[in-house]
Structure 1
Amino acid sequence: MANINQQLSDTFSAMADGLLSGQFGKKTRIALTLIGSEHGPQELLRGAQLVARQHSDIEPVLIGCNDPECGFECHPAEDLNQCHQVMESLFEQKQIDGCVTLHYAFPLGVSTMGKVVTPSTGREMIIASTTGTTDTNRQAAMLKNTLYGIALAKATGIEQPTVGVLNIDGAALCERGLRELQQAGYDIHFAESGRADGGIAMRGNDLLQGTPDVMVTDSLTGNLLMKMFSSFTTGGSYEASGFGYGPGLGEGTAGKLVNIISRASGAPVVAGAMRLCADAAKGEVMKRVDEEWEAATLSGLNSTLAKYCQPKTQVETTEAVIAPPEKVTDTDIGGIDILEIEDACQALWQVKIFARTGMGCTGPIILVAKEDLDAAKARLVETEFLS
């Protein structure tokens, strides 16, 4: 009987809330911890008020709040550690759908996928990733970040997100791995750089324009990008734009949707982070992660990841490789990782193709004669420097 009475009470309360707000149906309950910000708890509270005013489908739940008159459900806590203990308890009791917090220790294997608004076009773009460690191997981490970024994009309403890889160390290897998955059947859609020569490698211009829906990078670079995008108009001490550093996704989340903000995040970013958390919860982002992982695994993900954990097989040779006679090198080959560029050049020398290494505007390149271009590419594919 008590259970029936509670259900009736909840139903009538929901009807009353719907008549007042115009929002019928179950609200998404997103917790927010109020302790630890450089701007004080009132700034975080303002973020909760902002999201509640703008989005009637979100119900903020405050942790670390001792003011019963604040207008929201409150749970007291003395410090951030206690806030996280309360958060864990609310998750266990299924009282919240997600939580926005800071300084939360994710386990190894989990990284956050942030979301920014790009200044050139006002487009929203996911940065994969922004904090945490998806994998101790850089290339494996970037590949996994891609899957988690795609999962978040799909959970938030983009069914066929475009993917670009930021042109940093390891980008060429990441691209090679992604193309291997695509060729094996994994459904992935690559963005084309806005620069004239196109390609999946994204430049600074593409960051500003929001060329891809998901921008893949390592977490340290992603963290820097988040800070630049969110506070470039304020001098850096106040993050005023965007959706925060995003939900922690990966192996070890235990199904708990925890979104991260920083100590510098202002009320607009706090509100954005709560909106992103609610969208991810309603879009079942954890289920999306499992679906992407399963699809990629069926396309050879494990074997691709295994390559990154093994030293690359050196080009077999019984004697020192001597450069062939010099030629005019009037064409170039890109897409080779900087850590492999010298080995790739040696592989061409072995088959009597003269080559030089260089650095183009998009990264490392190998320069060859125009008449040797096709043979050089074939050799680099054969020796797995190109895909």
Structure 2
Amino acid sequence: MADKDINRIIAGTFLEMADILETGGETSRAVIALTALGSEHGEDELYRAAAMAANQGIRVKFIGTKSVSYPGVETVCVSSEEEGHKELENLLASGAVQGGVTMHYPFPIGVSTVGRVITPAKGKAMYIATTTGTTALDRVEGLVRNALYGIATAKACGVAEPTVGLLNIDGARQVEIQLQRLQNSGYSIRFATSGRSDGGAVMRGNDLLMGSCDVMVTDSLTGNILMKLFSSYNTGGNYESVGYGYGPGMGENFDKLILIVSRASGAPVVKGAIEFAAELVRGDYQRVFAMELKAAKQAGLDAVLAGCRAQKQAGEPAEAVVQPPKEVVTAEIHGIEILDLEDAVKDLWKENIYAESGMGCTGPVVLLSEAKVEQAKSILIGKGYISE
């Protein structure tokens, strides 16, 4: 027997001993499947990731064309990507594995993935909610759900009270209002504070780099771009070398643990995704997700989401609004969505308050007289443009 094989046997023995010490002899240690076909870096790169994860005590079922031998790694041979995905489904359905890592999965509407990155300023882990999939057809509803999915994922991975930040994108201000409604009705949520001098839960680009929150809420298209930037900014883009991948698909009535990596993901990221999957299994992520959703529904989630979906009636004739006499506008009211800005101005005009729309350094603003600020804020809060 070659020295290399002896070393592998010894390594495998120590892994089993470590598992017994950690679990008290239980045999329920997580087994994670990995599909290897389709990577831009070749099947061997993903085999290396499986071996790296096995060295951390995670058992891996490697679904690929090659029969490999490594302590903690079992090969399931297939001849095509399609066959590999069928085998992944079979392993999940039979209970032979508790989770899977793959480069593509057709998630249904309502399910999207929560990624995890390492932020460069302080080396802190941050969850990006979300990175692939479609959480909801309405943007604001989707972002509200993304926040809940991100919170549940972070809690399942051991973050007891994750702080939540909202990336400064279209919809963020309305999402903040809806999440505050849930908070005021009893749902426990910790809003993060921006690292910029003006603070607030709406995060800017600097906060992404600093890791100002545990969970960063965004839409999946933006989140997907962020994942690619965070994972490959040191490599030129063709090799993802840092982080944990695009994360698990989360959603109501979705009971499979499927985590996504990119075809550009290198062994370090794929290994991170396997670790991510094992953490979620150990943290009983389905139970955590169900508890989080139940708590949010008890605080009125269904009503909040129904309000998000409410749209202005199509074809409704525009109401003629008379502009009040002009005044000097030196005060600003922040926190209004860009798409709602002109409507907010006209609603103030209806109350005989002269206002103008503008763009400040942190987003859209309503400009008005200092003397009218408090009255205007009360009107805008009442109409749902800003939060208290």
Relative to the length of structure 2, the TM-score reads: 0.91
AA at the equivalent of 2:99: G
Paired residue for 1:38? 40
| 1:228 maps to 2:226 | no
- 1:251 is displaced (CA, Å) by 2.7
Map 1:326-337; keep pairs closer than 5 Å: 326-337=326-337
Moved more, 234-243 or 377-386: 377-386
In structure 2, relative to structure 1, the CA distance for the partners of 1:200 and 1:312 (3 Å cut) is: farther
- 1:106 is displaced (CA, Å) by 0.9
Distance 1:202 1:20 in 2: 42
Paired residue for 2:325? 325
In structure 2, relative to structure 1, the CA distance for the partners of 1:325 and 1:60 (3 Å cut) is: same
In structure 2, relative to structure 1, the CA distance for the partners of 1:68 and 1:383 (3 Å cut) is: closer
Paired residue for 1:219? 220
Distance 1:20 1:350 in 2: 71
- 1:65 is displaced (CA, Å) by 4.2
Paired residue for 2:8? none
Q: Secondary structure at the match of 1:115?
A: strand
Question: C-alpha deviations, 1:124-181, integer Å up to 9, x for none?
Answer: 0000000000111111111101001000000000110000000001111111110111
Paired residue for 1:64? 64
1:52 corresponds to which of 54, 66, 70: 54
Query: Does the 8 A contact of 2:112 with 2:250 survive in 1?
Result: yes
Question: C-alpha deviations, 1:107-136, integer Å up to 9, x for none?
Answer: 111100000000111110000000000111
In structure 2, relative to structure 1, the CA distance for the partners of 1:313 and 1:45 (3 Å cut) is: same
Paired residue for 2:361? 361
Map 1:271-310; keep pairs closer than 5 Å: 271-310=271-310
- 1:69 is displaced (CA, Å) by 2.9
Distance 2:77 2:366 in 1: 61
- 1:189 is displaced (CA, Å) by 0.4
- 1:16 is displaced (CA, Å) by 7.8
- Tell me the C-alpha RMSD between the 2 structures: 2.0
Paired residue for 1:99? 100
- 1:66 is displaced (CA, Å) by 2.8
Distance 1:97 1:321 in 2: 60
| 1:263 maps to 2:263 | yes
Paired residue for 2:121? 120
In structure 2, relative to structure 1, the CA distance for the partners of 1:65 and 1:252 (3 Å cut) is: farther
- 1:310 is displaced (CA, Å) by 1.4
Moved more, 155-164 or 64-73: 64-73
Query: Does the 8 A contact of 1:341 with 1:366 survive in 2?
Result: yes
Paired residue for 1:346? 346
Question: C-alpha deviations, 1:211-265, integer Å up to 9, x for none?
Answer: 0100000000000000000001100000000000000000342x21010000000
Distance 2:343 2:41 in 1: 51
| 1:166 maps to 2:167 | yes
Query: Does the 8 A contact of 1:335 with 1:386 survive in 2?
Result: yes
Paired residue for 1:193? 194
- 1:380 is displaced (CA, Å) by 0.5
In structure 2, relative to structure 1, the CA distance for the partners of 1:85 and 1:380 (3 Å cut) is: same
Structure 1 gaps of 5+ residues are: 1-13
In structure 2, relative to structure 1, the CA distance for the partners of 1:313 and 1:173 (3 Å cut) is: farther
Paired residue for 1:245? 246
- 1:293 is displaced (CA, Å) by 1.1
Question: C-alpha deviations, 1:260-305, integer Å up to 9, x for none?
Answer: 0000000000111011111011111122111111111111111111
AA at the equivalent of 1:365: V
Paired residue for 1:19? 17
Distance 1:103 1:215 in 2: 23
Moved more, 23-32 or 152-161: 23-32
AA at the equivalent of 1:35: L
Distance 1:99 1:317 in 2: 52
AA at the equivalent of 1:297: K
Distance 2:296 2:68 in 1: 48
**% of aligned pairs identical?**
47
Moved more, 19-28 or 336-345: 19-28
AA at the equivalent of 1:348: L
- 1:20 is displaced (CA, Å) by 6.9
In the comparison of the two structures, how many residue pairs are matched? 370
Distance 1:358 1:113 in 2: 34
Moved more, 344-353 or 26-35: 26-35
- 1:18 is displaced (CA, Å) by 3.1
Paired residue for 2:131? 130
Query: Does the 8 A contact of 2:51 with 2:70 survive in 1?
Result: no
Paired residue for 2:91? 90
In structure 2, relative to structure 1, the CA distance for the partners of 1:368 and 1:167 (3 Å cut) is: same
In structure 2, relative to structure 1, the CA distance for the partners of 1:106 and 1:206 (3 Å cut) is: same
AA at the equivalent of 2:40: E
- 1:22 is displaced (CA, Å) by 7.2
Q: Secondary structure at the match of 1:32?
A: strand
- 1:326 is displaced (CA, Å) by 1.5
Query: Does the 8 A contact of 1:18 with 1:24 survive in 2?
Result: no
AA at the equivalent of 1:18: E
- 1:24 is displaced (CA, Å) by 4.1
| 1:178 maps to 2:179 | yes
Query: Does the 8 A contact of 1:15 with 1:24 survive in 2?
Result: no
Structure 2 gaps of 5+ residues are: 1-11
